[in-house]
Structure 1
Amino acid sequence: MEEIIRIPESRIGLIIGEGGKVKAELQKSFGAKLTINEDGTVEITGKEGLNIYKMKKAVEGIARGLSLDIVLNLCDDDYDLEIIHLEEILGKNKNILNRYKSRLIGSDGRIKKILEKKTGTDIAIHGKTVAILGKFEDIADAKSAIEMILQGNDFNSVFATLDNRMR
């Protein structure tokens, strides 16, 4: 079985890692083979479809800014990665995209850290995307909170909603 994905050329080095360490760890952990081409094409091959799927998600997570340690959680069947494409929600206006990305991050990353802590997820904001890695139910909570922020809701009401869900 084979899966082919594209990642930005600027992110290839992150997938390979120093001395090929990241690539080797991904291959060992997910039991599939990675072939990374200079044009950003990544080929994932293996015998198990689930392993290929999980490695694809791991590569996408690293390309979006998550660390190797975090994406290795995808080895656990309870974990997944969801990517929110901001342009689909906010449109293509760069000023609007940057303003809402800044809202999601907060000063010194405060809002992002609170979202991660309250939902038990890891969040990476890169380019025009938000990547959320965590357990399925936690991803749903994080995605809902992010959508509320993107709709302009007050942070306190977003956090109160999360607190109520966690009870």
Structure 2
Amino acid sequence: MQHVKIPQDRIGVLIGQGGETMREIEAEAEVRLDIDSENGSVAVETVGDPVLGLKGPEIVQAIGRGFAPDAALRLLEDEMMMFDVVDIDAASRNKNDLQRQKGRLIGEDGRTRELMEELAGADIVIYGTTLGMIGTPEQVDAARTAAEMLLDGAPHGTVYSFLEDRHNEMKHQGLQYHRFPGSDSEEA
């Protein structure tokens, strides 16, 4: 059994209308979820296929980091799909810098985040003080590198060029997957 802590405001999303989302996750990932809505703690117990069960905590974490349940369930599509998080707060000096860094990652009208998604091929959500990614290892690596470049102060144009190069490499190697729309991304 694994324990995952998610923000209070994401518990309703995890449970879903009448428990529908929770039941879908339990059925698809072959796990049982025990949700403590008081403190946001979720116990994830594998009750079926252990390989599928390993994805259960990641699905819960992804929903906790702002992903829509459908996007989080993409982790079950392929054993290569992965979830990763960049801590924006760790790259910020103070609260004002945190807002500036989030703004750099989101971009005007969300355009930077959208371009990172399109060119890396990963689903990307900026929620609270984190940037979450779901995709193949190559997609997540491209998105993480781009985010870290932006957090380190690289000009947006440089990051876009990097992403275009990586996009073309992945396309050439046949690694590009189609993104799944439907993330509940927070816009600064």
TM-score normalised to the size of structure 2? 0.84
- Identify which of 59, 79, 87 aligns with 1:85: 87
Deviation at 1:6, TM superposition (A): 1.0
Distance 2:166 2:110 in 1: 23
Please state which structure has a larger fraction of its residues in helix. 1
Aligned pairs for 1:109-128 within 5 A: 109-128=110-129
Structure 1 residue runs without a partner (length 5+): none
Other-structure match for 1:46: 46
> CA RMSD, aligned part only?
1.2
Deviation at 1:165, TM superposition (A): 2.1
Distance 1:24 1:110 in 2: 35
- The worse-fitting range, judged by mean Cα deviation, of 124-133 and 47-56 is 47-56
Distance 2:152 2:63 in 1: 27
Aligned pairs for 1:35-74 within 5 A: 35-38=34-37, 39-47=39-47, 48-74=49-75
**Aligned-pair identity (%):** 33
Other-structure match for 2:151: 150
Other-structure match for 2:32: 33
Deviation at 1:36, TM superposition (A): 0.4
- Cα pair distance change 1:53/1:88, threshold 3 Å: farther
Distance 2:128 2:54 in 1: 23
Other-structure match for 1:20: 19
Total equivalences in the alignment: 165
Other-structure match for 2:141: 140
Please tell me the residue identity of whatever aligns with 1:125: I
Q: Which has the higher contact order (CA 8 A, sep 6+)?
A: 2
Distance 1:165 1:114 in 2: 13
Deviation at 1:40, TM superposition (A): 0.8
The CA deviation string for residues 118-153 of structure 1, in whole angstroms up to 9 with x for no partner, is 000111111111101111111000000001111111
Other-structure match for 2:163: 162
Mapped contact 1:3–1:52 kept (Cα < 8 A): no
Deviation at 1:49, TM superposition (A): 4.1
Mapped contact 2:89–2:98 kept (Cα < 8 A): yes
Structure 2 residue runs without a partner (length 5+): 169-188
- The worse-fitting range, judged by mean Cα deviation, of 118-127 and 44-53 is 44-53
